Amino acid sequence: MDNSATTVSAGKFLLEVVTPDHRLLSQEVDYVSAPGSEGDFGVLPGHCHFLTTLRIGELQYRVGEQTEFMSVLWGFAEVTPTKVTILAEIAEKAEDINVDRAEEAVQKAEEQLKRGGLPSEVEEARVSLEKARLRKKIADRHRQKGGARLS
Amino acid sequence: MASLQSLRRKIASVKNTQKITKAMKMVAAAKLKRAQSRILSARPYAHQLREVMSNLSQRVNRASHPLLSRRDGNALELLVVTSDRGLCGAFNTNILRRAVEFLEEQRGQGKQVSVSVVGRKSIDFFKRRDWPIRQEWPGVFDRLSFEHALDIGQNVVSQYHSGTFDHLYVVYNEFKSAMQQEVIVEKLLPIESLHVSEEGEKPSMGGGYLYEPDEGELLETLLPKHFEIQTYRVLLESAAAEQAARMTAMDGATRNAGELIKKVTLFYNKTRQAAITKELMDIVGGSEAIK
């Protein structure tokens, strides 16, 4: 479990993404943008201390020329000059997203919304639609980047 | 001298016991594997959250949230986490010994103590003694999930809010490795800041810290979350440690049974040979007499 590097190379900072189930990412990056509950924010090295809650949205991070995408659903982010910690309830790397399942979920949620129903059901459908759309968007971006999985 | 038949019976009985302990060891090993991967994957989140919390608690005004503010009251509660089942070596004994030690020490300092217990073993233990049990949760470990942590966490927090106790400690077994567990006593409430984390530089105290949304709202969501996650981690630690302890204990039992079988079998064979020799001698002696 020995993880986070104690020394960070110049011009970079450490990005850690953890969910209650596992550690998704621990990597040195150049830039991160994350969906704060009051608006997206971008982080470069040496950012001031910052703590925020997250909403459903897209996490982007750049290593060198490579930009990666990830979905995060709720949680917290803590930013320090040398480290960004994302504590998400759910997070998925773009390459791990199952596009078919996401599309299916979009359809299902849209139908439920059209059908209407109890307020709680509608709310649930709205949230799952948002989640599914986000997944789909991120997966599409990943594909466009040419990183689609061969299998 | 034991008769041959009773020796045979003894061997058969030990062999049966060995079969059971062996099976239990295998089951524990399989369960351990699952429990271990659960705790190992839950730890990073819990630790990161704790780090965020302790950074935060150094900055904010402690009085701004009830879970942070220290109270002067002297009512203390200890949450004891043991297993539901036995046959896991010194697992429960260690915890209960430490728990009683701690409670007596605190009582000696004039604190008013009560216990909340998770796991049938500690429920039985404290029922037989005169420590006041406030709440008990049996059977949590059969199918451990986050819901259990929520249940326990919410109960304890609401009791804390209503002032039933002013300090909450937990005693549990931490899972170190398959061979090793460590009894840990930890303060859960009020949430204390930890030592300054080694990683990274020491954050500048009081330096500008931005919050979004504002500090109060953030604490309102972060603190209960933190508490639930820590409770969940404690339960997972204990579950993994229990299986590890059981596996070790049953491995030892299987080995001991093997040794016993070897010893008794040797004795059985010696006895049998002695009987044969005696018979032979009787026959030879008899035929000599006829001549």
Residue type (1 letter), A67: T
Same domain, B283 and B224: no
Same domain, B159 and B55: yes
Structure tokens belonging to residue B40:
């190992």
Same domain, B147 and B235: yes
Q: Assess contact for B249 and B29: CB atoms under 8 A.
A: no
Between chains, do B45 and A20 touch, taking CB under 8 Å as contact? yes
Helical axes B91-108 vs B120-127, angle rounded to 10° = 50
pLDDT value at residue A148: 46
Same domain, B129 and B112: yes
Rounded Cα gap, residues B112 and A107, in angstroms:
59
Arithmetic mean of pLDDT, B176-199 = 76
pLDDT value at residue B236: 93
Query: pLDDT of A113-144, one tens digit each?
Result: 888 778 888 888 888 888 888 888 888 887 77
B76 inside domain: yes
Same domain, B9 and B92: no
pLDDT value at residue B274: 93
Smallest Cβ distance to A82: which of B42, B45, B200?
Answer: B200
Q: Per the structure, how many domains does chain B have?
A: 2
B127 annotated active-site: no
Same domain, B239 and B259: no
B203 inside domain: no
Between chains, do A38 and B213 touch, taking CB under 8 Å as contact? yes
Smallest Cβ distance to A1: which of B43, B55, B213?
Answer: B43
Same domain, B230 and B98: yes
pLDDT value at residue B223: 85
On the question of pLDDT at A150 being above 50, the answer is no
pLDDT value at residue B233: 92
How much is the pTM? 0.80
Minimal Cα–Cα distance from A19 to chain B, Å?
Answer: 6
Range of the domain at B215: 29-195+208-248
Same domain, B16 and B120: no
Same domain, B17 and B127: no
Q: Is B232 exposed, middle or buried (0-12, 13-18, 19+ CB in 10 A)?
A: buried
Smallest Cβ distance to A53: which of B40, B55, B218?
Answer: B218
B116 inside domain: yes
Same domain, B243 and B263: no
On the question of pLDDT at B197 being above 50, the answer is no
Which chain B residues have a beta carbon less than 8 Å from that of A82?
Answer: 200-201
Same domain, B174 and B267: no
On the question of pLDDT at B91 being above 70, the answer is yes
Residues on chain B bordering chain A, Cβ-to-Cβ distance under 8 angstroms: 40-45, 48-49, 51-52, 55-56, 146, 198-201, 203, 207-213, 218, 221-222, 229, 232
Residue A146: pLDDT band (50, 70, 90) is low
Q: Assess contact for A87 and A69: CB atoms under 8 A.
A: no
